Protein backbone atom coordinates (compact mmCIF):
# COMPACT_ATOMS: atom_id res chain seq x y z
CA UNK A 1 0.00 0.00 0.00
CA UNK A 2 1.39 3.40 -0.99
CA UNK A 3 0.46 6.80 0.50
CA UNK A 4 1.59 9.87 -1.44
CA UNK A 5 1.08 13.33 0.07
CA UNK A 6 0.11 15.73 -2.72
CA UNK A 7 0.96 19.43 -3.10
CA UNK A 8 -1.81 20.52 -0.71
CA UNK A 9 -1.25 19.72 2.99
CA UNK A 10 -3.30 16.78 4.21
CA UNK A 11 -4.41 15.67 0.73
CA UNK A 12 -3.16 12.12 0.20
CA UNK A 13 -3.27 9.80 -2.82
CA UNK A 14 -3.72 6.18 -1.71
CA UNK A 15 -2.64 3.30 -3.93
CA UNK A 16 -3.91 0.10 -2.30
CA UNK A 17 -2.13 -3.18 -2.91
CA UNK A 18 -4.25 -5.29 -5.27
CA UNK A 19 -3.96 -9.08 -5.35
CA UNK A 20 -5.22 -10.29 -8.75
CA UNK A 21 -5.58 -13.94 -9.74
CA UNK A 22 -7.65 -16.05 -12.14
CA UNK A 23 -10.77 -15.49 -9.98
CA UNK A 24 -10.55 -11.68 -9.99
CA UNK A 25 -8.88 -9.55 -7.33
CA UNK A 26 -8.76 -8.69 -3.65
CA UNK A 27 -7.74 -5.45 -1.91
CA UNK A 28 -8.21 -3.66 1.37
CA UNK A 29 -10.21 -0.50 0.71
CA UNK A 30 -9.67 0.72 4.25
CA UNK A 31 -7.54 -0.44 7.18
CA UNK A 32 -7.66 2.05 10.05
CA UNK A 33 -4.14 1.52 11.37
CA UNK A 34 -2.42 1.46 7.96
CA UNK A 35 -4.34 4.48 6.72
CA UNK A 36 -3.72 6.46 9.91
CA UNK A 37 0.02 5.73 9.64
CA UNK A 38 -0.18 6.89 6.00
CA UNK A 39 -1.83 10.20 6.99
CA UNK A 40 -5.48 9.22 6.41
CA UNK A 41 -7.49 10.53 8.13
CA UNK A 42 -5.40 13.34 9.47
CA UNK A 43 -5.74 14.74 13.00
CA UNK A 44 -7.09 11.54 14.53
CA UNK A 45 -10.55 11.78 12.94
CA UNK A 46 -12.51 8.62 12.22
CA UNK A 47 -14.98 7.82 9.46
CA UNK A 48 -18.66 7.88 10.45
CA UNK A 49 -20.61 7.81 7.15
CA UNK A 50 -20.24 6.16 3.73
CA UNK A 51 -21.85 7.54 0.55
CA UNK A 52 -22.20 6.32 -3.03
CA UNK A 53 -23.18 8.14 -6.21
CA UNK A 54 -23.72 7.08 -9.82
CA UNK A 55 -23.30 9.62 -12.59
CA UNK A 56 -23.22 9.71 -16.38
CA UNK A 57 -20.35 10.94 -18.53
CA UNK A 58 -19.71 14.67 -18.30
CA UNK A 59 -21.40 15.05 -14.91
CA UNK A 60 -19.62 17.45 -12.60
CA UNK A 61 -20.46 17.33 -8.88
CA UNK A 62 -19.11 20.09 -6.67
CA UNK A 63 -17.48 22.02 -5.30
CA UNK A 64 -18.88 21.17 -1.83
CA UNK A 65 -17.96 21.25 1.85
CA UNK A 66 -19.57 21.89 5.23
CA UNK A 67 -18.98 25.00 7.35
CA UNK A 68 -19.38 24.07 11.01
CA UNK A 69 -18.99 20.32 10.71
CA UNK A 70 -16.31 19.95 8.02
CA UNK A 71 -15.90 16.50 6.55
CA UNK A 72 -12.75 14.70 5.55
CA UNK A 73 -13.50 12.38 2.61
CA UNK A 74 -11.80 9.23 1.33
CA UNK A 75 -12.97 8.97 -2.29
CA UNK A 76 -12.74 6.10 -4.79
CA UNK A 77 -14.33 5.12 -8.09
CA UNK A 78 -15.79 1.61 -8.01
CA UNK A 79 -17.03 1.79 -11.62
CA UNK A 80 -15.68 3.94 -14.42
CA UNK A 81 -13.31 6.88 -14.16
CA UNK A 82 -13.45 10.34 -12.56
CA UNK A 83 -11.26 13.41 -12.23
CA UNK A 84 -11.35 14.15 -8.49
CA UNK A 85 -10.48 17.58 -7.08
CA UNK A 86 -9.62 19.05 -3.67
CA UNK A 87 -9.46 22.83 -3.10
CA UNK A 88 -7.94 24.40 0.02
CA UNK A 89 -10.49 26.98 1.25
CA UNK A 90 -9.05 27.59 4.72
CA UNK A 91 -8.72 31.37 5.11
CA UNK A 92 -5.10 32.29 5.80
CA UNK A 93 -3.66 29.00 4.54
CA UNK A 94 -0.44 29.26 2.52
CA UNK A 95 -2.21 27.17 -0.16
CA UNK A 96 -5.56 29.02 -0.02
CA UNK A 97 -7.56 28.69 -3.29
CA UNK A 98 -5.05 26.16 -4.67
CA UNK A 99 -6.33 22.88 -6.05
CA UNK A 100 -5.11 19.41 -6.87
CA UNK A 101 -6.77 16.86 -9.16
CA UNK A 102 -6.20 13.16 -9.75
CA UNK A 103 -7.79 10.45 -11.87
CA UNK A 104 -9.53 7.75 -9.86
CA UNK A 105 -10.88 4.68 -11.62
CA UNK A 106 -12.15 1.20 -11.04
CA UNK A 107 -9.06 0.01 -12.94
CA UNK A 108 -6.37 1.90 -10.97
CA UNK A 109 -8.03 1.38 -7.52
CA UNK A 110 -6.60 4.72 -6.31
CA UNK A 111 -8.26 6.74 -3.56
CA UNK A 112 -8.00 10.42 -2.64
CA UNK A 113 -8.20 11.69 0.90
CA UNK A 114 -9.62 15.22 1.05
CA UNK A 115 -9.19 16.66 4.58
CA UNK A 116 -11.69 18.84 6.46
CA UNK A 117 -11.48 22.49 5.38
CA UNK A 118 -11.24 21.63 1.69
CA UNK A 119 -13.88 21.81 -1.03
CA UNK A 120 -14.39 18.62 -3.02
CA UNK A 121 -15.73 17.90 -6.48
CA UNK A 122 -15.35 15.51 -9.38
CA UNK A 123 -16.30 15.04 -13.01
CA UNK A 124 -17.06 11.79 -14.82
CA UNK A 125 -14.73 10.81 -17.64
CA UNK A 126 -16.21 7.40 -18.54
CA UNK A 127 -19.71 6.60 -19.85
CA UNK A 128 -20.81 6.03 -16.25
CA UNK A 129 -19.08 6.18 -12.88
CA UNK A 130 -19.96 5.03 -9.41
CA UNK A 131 -18.13 6.78 -6.59
CA UNK A 132 -17.92 5.71 -2.96
CA UNK A 133 -16.57 7.91 -0.23
CA UNK A 134 -16.13 7.71 3.50
CA UNK A 135 -16.74 10.86 5.59
CA UNK A 136 -15.30 11.94 8.94
CA UNK A 137 -18.50 13.74 9.97
CA UNK A 138 -22.18 13.36 9.22
CA UNK A 139 -23.79 15.20 6.32
CA UNK A 140 -25.77 18.18 7.61
CA UNK A 141 -27.85 19.78 4.82
CA UNK A 142 -28.14 23.24 6.42
CA UNK A 143 -24.35 23.30 6.97
CA UNK A 144 -23.44 22.68 3.32
CA UNK A 145 -21.64 25.31 1.29
CA UNK A 146 -20.63 25.34 -2.35
CA UNK A 147 -18.42 27.25 -4.75
CA UNK A 148 -19.09 27.48 -8.48
CA UNK A 149 -17.15 24.79 -10.33
CA UNK A 150 -15.48 27.21 -12.78
CA UNK A 151 -14.49 30.01 -10.38
CA UNK A 152 -11.64 31.87 -12.13
CA UNK A 153 -10.05 32.69 -8.75
CA UNK A 154 -9.38 28.96 -8.35
CA UNK A 155 -8.83 28.03 -12.01
CA UNK A 156 -9.46 24.28 -11.94
CA UNK A 157 -8.54 22.70 -15.27
CA UNK A 158 -11.53 20.37 -15.60
CA UNK A 159 -11.20 17.79 -18.40
CA UNK A 160 -14.80 18.38 -19.58
CA UNK A 161 -15.95 21.21 -21.85
CA UNK A 162 -19.71 21.33 -21.19
CA UNK A 163 -20.37 19.53 -17.91
CA UNK A 164 -23.74 18.28 -16.73
CA UNK A 165 -24.36 20.25 -13.53
CA UNK A 166 -27.23 20.33 -11.06
CA UNK A 167 -29.21 23.59 -10.79
CA UNK A 168 -27.93 23.95 -7.21
CA UNK A 169 -24.27 23.66 -8.28
CA UNK A 170 -24.85 25.95 -11.27
CA UNK A 171 -26.11 28.66 -8.86
CA UNK A 172 -23.22 28.28 -6.40
CA UNK A 173 -21.37 31.49 -5.47
CA UNK A 174 -17.78 32.35 -6.23
CA UNK A 175 -15.10 31.88 -3.59
CA UNK A 176 -14.85 35.64 -2.93
CA UNK A 177 -18.59 35.78 -2.13
CA UNK A 178 -18.39 33.29 0.75
CA UNK A 179 -14.99 34.23 2.16
CA UNK A 180 -16.25 35.14 5.67
CA UNK A 181 -18.02 31.75 5.97
CA UNK A 182 -14.93 29.69 5.12
CA UNK A 183 -12.96 27.90 7.85
CA UNK A 184 -9.92 29.64 9.27
CA UNK A 185 -6.51 28.06 8.81
CA UNK A 186 -4.90 26.82 12.02
CA UNK A 187 -1.16 26.29 11.57
CA UNK A 188 -1.03 24.31 14.82
CA UNK A 189 -3.29 21.51 13.56
Which residues are designated catalytic?
Answer: 64, 133
Question: What number of residues does the chain have?
Answer: 189
Tell me 152's DSSP state. Answer: T
Sign of CA dihedral 163, 111, 52, 66: negative
- Helix (H) or strand (E) segment spanning residue 35: helix 32-37
* Other Cβ atoms within 10 Å of 75 Cβ, number: 24
Report d(CA 119, CA 17) in Å as an integer: 28
Amino acid sequence: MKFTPLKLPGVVLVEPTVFPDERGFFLETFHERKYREGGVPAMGASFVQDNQSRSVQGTLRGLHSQRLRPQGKLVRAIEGEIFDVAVDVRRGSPTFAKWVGVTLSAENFHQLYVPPGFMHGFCVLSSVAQVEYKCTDFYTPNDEQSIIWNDPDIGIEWPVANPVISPKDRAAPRLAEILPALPKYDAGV
